[in-house]
């Protein structure tokens, strides 16, 4: 869990290279408390924004993804983070820039609504979603660390 006191703090959670293309989500009010993660889609639908914290940390990490077309026919795919199985319009390739010459991608839910899917599955099976949500944040951080070189800051 983490908290933003202002839109400036929210923007600062993103890498400097991403801040220049930021589009704030409509209707945010501050202070803003974030339980697991915050995700939203740009009005044009071209970019998907994600803010989360690494397990054991309260420092927010922001990543801006672009939706990249994988081409071809409409096939089913599996989200690498929540393991939701859906059509290519639901589960797609999201990419982010590492440098001006290098981009990395991962197959994810196009709207990053992984939390809702995990909570729904847990509710239907009569179990707690807490472990699944912790694993989800761990997968998010693993991508950020391995693909983007982002380090975790311990909780203060």
Asked, for residue 155, whether it belongs to a domain, the answer is no
* Maximum C-alpha span of the chain: 48
Angle at 52 between CA 9 and CA 129, to 5 degrees: 140
Asked, for residue 82, whether it belongs to a domain, the answer is yes
Q: Give the residue-averaged pLDDT of 129-146.
A: 95
Asked, for residue 154, whether it belongs to a domain, the answer is no
Full residue range of the structural domain in which residue 40 is found: 2-148
Asked, for residue 109, whether it belongs to a domain, the answer is yes
Residue 145 has φ and ψ, to the nearest 5°, of -75, -50
Q: Is 111 helix (H, G, I), strand (E, B) or coil?
A: coil
Residue 155 clears pLDDT 70, i.e. is over it: no
Q: What is the pLDDT of residue 136?
A: 96
Can you give the pTM of this predicted structure? 0.91
Q: What pLDDT band is residue 1 in, cutting at 50, 70 and 90?
A: confident
Token pair 């839910």 in the structure block, residue:
109
What pLDDT digit, counting tens, does each position of 9-58 carry? 999 999 999 998 899 988 899 999 999 999 999 888 899 999 999 888 88
Residue 41: strand pairing partners? 48
Counting the structural domains of the chain, the total is 1
Residue 92: strand pairing partners? 108
Asked, for residue 75, whether it belongs to a domain, the answer is yes
Count each helix (H run) and each strand (E run) in the chain, helices first: 4, 9
Residue 156 clears pLDDT 70, i.e. is over it: no
Asked, for residue 129, whether it belongs to a domain, the answer is yes
Q: Give the residue-averaged pLDDT of 81-95.
A: 92
Q: Is 86 helix (H, G, I), strand (E, B) or coil?
A: strand
Cα 105 versus chain centre, distance? 12
Asked, for residue 156, whether it belongs to a domain, the answer is no
Measured CA to CA, the distance from residue 9 to residue 12 in angstroms comes to: 5
Q: What is the pLDDT of residue 151?
A: 87
Residue 71 clears pLDDT 70, i.e. is over it: no
Asked, for residue 98, whether it belongs to a domain, the answer is yes
Residue 94: strand pairing partners? 67, 106
Return the minimum-mean-pLDDT range out of 47-51, 69-73, 86-90, 124-128.
69-73
């Amino acid at each position: 869990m983490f908290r933003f006191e202002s839109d400036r703090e929210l923007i600062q959670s993103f890498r400097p290279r991403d801040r220049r293309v930021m589009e704030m989500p409509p209707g945010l009010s501050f202070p803003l408390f974030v339980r697991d993660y915050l995700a939203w889609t740009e009005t044009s639908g071209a970019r998907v924004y994600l803010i989360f914290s690494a397990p054991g940390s309260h420092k927010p990490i922001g990543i801006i993804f672009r939706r990249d077309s994988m081409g071809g026919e409409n096939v089913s795919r599996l989200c690498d983070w929540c393991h939701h199985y859906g059509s290519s319009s639901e589960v797609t390739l999201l990419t982010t820039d590492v440098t001006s010459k290098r981009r990395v991608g991962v197959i994810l839910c196009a709207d990053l609504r992984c939390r809702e899917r995990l909570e729904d599955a847990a509710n239907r099976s009569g179990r707690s979603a807490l472990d699944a949500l912790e694993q989800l944040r761990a997968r998010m951080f693993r991508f950020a660390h391995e693909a983007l070189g982002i380090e975790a800051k311990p909780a203060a």
